[in-house]
Amino acid sequence: MSTIRHLNQQEAINVDLELFNEYQFSVDQLMELAGLSCAHAIAEAYSHEPNKSVLVCCGPGNNGGDGLVCSRHLKLLGFSPVILYPKPTDKPLFKNLVKQCQMYDIPFIYEMPDVEALNRNYHIAVDALFGFSFKPPVRPLFTPVLKVLCQTSLPVVSIDIPSGWHVEGGPSADTDALAPDMLISLTAPKLCAKHFQGRLHVLGGRFVPAQMSDKYQLNLPEYPGTSQTVVLTSKI
């Protein structure tokens, strides 16, 4: 099989726009599918851990929305998520996602714990701060969040793009260099994934139409059985 395609920033934007405009997917549809696959990927990788307390760090954009959906599904899979949401948005979609999490008794916090508290009270941290539209530098509100994620001894799971990285160039010299234990690429890996050095790289989002895969020559691997995810690289 040919090597899987890694998308640059404009290609990633174009794929999303095409899914919305040509294939008539809605934002909340794709967000639900993405968040579901992220939760399943995390559950499969860390289900052996006795302590399943997870801090899910959500940004204000669609990557944060994926994190909100992921939190809800993690709760259903037996984990105990807590959501860090320092910059809530008034957009109806996000208000609905927040309400759903609240109805599932998922706690929200609005300030990042310090490193010692994070290490003591949680077992996994999920990075759902910034997506593929991010360009450095990190905004001041999120600087302490990213700093703690870089310093923690917990395994960090990044959704689609490790926060602070450029979608194409990877880690930036201008920001703290996040080094996640696990990267969950969505739809198709982005170019920055070539810089990933963690233990587990997983592809999620089993919804890409065959016509689109052919058009962009994505060369996506086959998903096993009924799984929502497929492992791309593993050092486990």
In tens, the pLDDT along 189-220 reads: 999 999 999 999 999 989 999 999 999 999 99
Nearest one of 94, 61, 20 to 163, comparing CA atoms: 61
pLDDT tens per residue across span 101-131: 999 999 999 999 999 999 999 999 999 999 8
Per-residue pLDDT, 191: 96
Indicate whether 223 pLDDT > 90.
Answer: yes
Are 201 and 180 in contact by the 8 Å Cβ rule? The answer is: no
Nearest one of 26, 55, 78, 45 to 128, comparing CA atoms: 55
Instruction: Return phi, psi of residue 155, to 5°.
Output: -70, 130
Q: Which amino acid is located at 43 in the chain?
A: A
Residue 98 to residue 85: CA distance in whole angstroms: 10
Residue 159 to residue 184: CA distance in whole angstroms: 5
Residue 205 to residue 118: CA distance in whole angstroms: 29
Per-residue pLDDT, 50: 64
Task: Give me 186's structure tokens.
Answer: 């969505």
Are 125 and 55 in contact by the 8 Å Cβ rule? The answer is: yes
* Partners of 159 in the β-ladder: 184
Residue 30 to residue 53: CA distance in whole angstroms: 26
Cα-based angle 179, 182, 186 (whole degrees, multiple of 5): 110
Lowest pLDDT segment from 14-23, 170-179, 199-208: 170-179
Residue 131 to residue 167: CA distance in whole angstroms: 8
Strand order in the sheet with 53-58: 108-109, 80-84, 53-58, 124-128, 156-159, 182-186, 200-204, 229-234
Task: Give me 153's structure tokens.
Answer: 């001894």
The HSE-up count of residue 165 (CA atoms within 13 Å, CB side) is: 29
Are 70 and 35 in contact by the 8 Å Cβ rule? The answer is: yes
Q: Is the pTM of this model over 0.75?
A: yes
Buried residues in 74-95 as b, exposed as e (16+ CB within 10 A) = bbeeebebbbbbbeebeeeebe
Average pLDDT along the chain: 93
Per-residue pLDDT, 1: 47
Q: Looking at residues 55-81, what average pLDDT do you find? A: 96
